[in-house]
Amino acid sequence: MSNRHLRDKRLSLKAKGLLSQMLSLPEDWDYTLTGLAYINRESKDAIRNAIKELESAGYLERRQITDNHGRFQHNEYIIRESPQEGPKNNTSAVG
């Protein structure tokens, strides 16, 4: 894992820690608020705020996956060691 995010002054300590943890987890981990809260002492709200911070900084992209009828199924996360510049996903719900 790169340590670039650890030196990024735009990120709070909480966001840095969550990104470090997410980068260390297997790809098939349960990257839901419930799954992340289960392995941390933080509340879902605190994790949601850190996720939004990582999205804004370009370290995380969240896509909402829907079924054939357009109903929400789950979020797909793309987690990056270095921030991506450019348009950000403006999805407001995390979970």
pLDDT tens digits, residue range 42-85? 999 999 999 999 999 999 998 989 999 999 988 888 999 999 97
The two three-digit tokens of residue 11, written as one number: 């990120």
Distances (CA, A) of 90 to 42, 55, 56, 87, 93: 24, 9, 9, 9, 9
Does residue 95 have a pLDDT over 70?
Answer: no
Distances (CA, A) of 65 to 9, 10, 37, 75, 81: 32, 29, 21, 6, 23
What is the average pLDDT score of the chain? 87
What is the per-residue pLDDT for 91? 44
Percentage of the chain lying above the pLDDT 70 cut = 89
Q: Let me know how long the chain is.
A: 95
Helix (H) / strand (E) element for 73: namely strand 72-79
Domains of the chain (ranges, CATH numbers):
4-79 (1.10.10)
Of residues 47 and 90, which shows the higher confidence score?
A: 47
